[in-house]
Amino acid sequence: MSMPPTSPSGPVPAGAAPTGPVAVYLLPPPPPPGILSRAFQWFMRGFFLLSLLLNVLLLNFLASELDADATVPELHVQGDRWEKHKIAIVRVEGAIVEGFTSFAHQQIRRAAQDDQVRAVVLAINSPGGTVTASDELHQAVKRLRAGEFPEQKAPKPVVVAMESIAASGGYYIAAPADHIVAQPTTLTGSIGVYAQLFDVSELAAKHGVGLTMLKKGELKGSGSPFHKMRPEEELEFNELLEHSYQRFMGVIVEGRNRANAAPRLRHGLRDEITLETLTEPRQRYTRRLADGGGWIAPQALEFGLIDQIGYQQDALAVAAQLIDRPLSDCRVVRYRRSTTFVESLLGLSSAPPPATLRLERLPGASARLWYLASGYELETFMGPGSK
């Protein structure tokens, strides 16, 4: 049997509120979290942030992979936006090196497969690069002009617009063009090939450093910087150089002196040309078109290496003529690098990769053959090229 509540003055009647002080009991505060508990909380927070970052990176990667073969976005440059006849500007900039030319190839492929693109202006600002990367771009330009890309329905004329420099490999990729326009200050030509190989054998011997090489095959290890090049090794490299040199000259002759057309080269590539210095006292000297040296635009025009001195707008006008339309009736477009989903989400614009030091791309650090203008070795070392 329960007892009625009481107060200091006696029992409290049923239903009546108690009077007088009421005892209040407070729970003690919880003990502070221990070291393990705090560590677990920080671990979970870090795990959540890491998971979020990995998901963003995975999304970016998947978007990049899905867009790898997608068309590059098109930007309007000039003319009526609704005009169906288009002239596309394809840009090739910087050193032409394997792994750094994908954007150039994407632009060419996009222009080839777009039925509304009637002609292409290939804007080149490059000192050249490796033999293989230059040859791959050259083949892409040839296929574009001949209409040989998958899903390409018709050949498309190509007009080159040379900028500051379009030399060596930069001239190599221009050779198939229907017409070449160079700015008055353009440096072009540089028809030749070279390989640079370091020789530290004497330095290594002086400091007691050596390299033990185990090999099978008499010429294996040719070009190693730790021993002097033997005559048979030098012969091997000279043969490689000669093959690439002959190919370079063949590409130029094929492009400039086409069958069923008047030859545009005014001299043979190995013919001697007598020139006179610009400085006083005037002196006569001889050169060859394919001596590996560069030519300024007026000289290149005189000898038939280019067709016209002008600017990009002049190249666009020539492209319009080749499709029998006035430039005012053409829509001029260019391409930009693809933007991934994450870049679009964050409002970022895609840009070329930052310059990185790539030792294997420095002439002399590897036994590569180069179609590269002299004095531009560091551009291959630092720059990202046209990726």
Element (H, E) at 166: strand 158-167
Whether the Cβ atoms of residue 186 and residue 297 lie closer than 8 Å to each other = yes
Give every CB contact of residue 267 below 8 A, 6+ residues apart in sequence: 273, 289, 303, 304
The span from the CA of 354 to the CA of 383, in Å, is: 8
pLDDT in tens, the chain (387 residues): 455 555 555 555 555 555 656 666 666 777 776 777 777 777 777 878 888 877 766 665 555 444 444 568 999 999 999 999 999 999 999 999 998 899 999 999 999 999 999 999 999 999 999 999 999 999 999 999 999 999 999 999 999 999 999 999 999 999 999 999 999 999 999 999 998 877 777 777 787 777 777 777 777 877 777 778 788 888 998 999 999 999 999 999 999 999 888 999 999 999 999 999 999 999 999 999 999 999 999 999 999 999 999 999 999 999 999 999 999 999 999 999 876 554 445 544 444 544 444 444 555 555 678 888 887 766 665 554 444
Residue where the block lists tokens 């635009």? 297
Burial of 11 (0-12, 13-18, 19+ CB in 10 A): exposed
Type of residue numbered 159? V
pTM score, whole prediction: 0.76
Beta strands in 203-355 (DSSP E): 273-276, 284-287, 294-296, 308-309, 331-335
At 367 the pLDDT is 60
Please give the DSSP secondary-structure letter assigned to residue 262.
-
Burial of 248 (0-12, 13-18, 19+ CB in 10 A): buried
At 18 the pLDDT is 56
Per-residue b/e over 45-66, b at no fewer than 16 CB within 10 Å?
eeeeeeeeeeeeeeeeeebeee
At 205 the pLDDT is 74
Give every CB contact of residue 66 below 8 A, 6+ residues apart in sequence: none
Type of residue numbered 14? A
Whether the Cβ atoms of residue 275 and residue 302 lie closer than 8 Å to each other = no
The span from the CA of 42 to the CA of 44, in Å, is: 5
Give every CB contact of residue 359 below 8 A, 6+ residues apart in sequence: 365, 381
Residues in the chain: 387
At 11 the pLDDT is 57
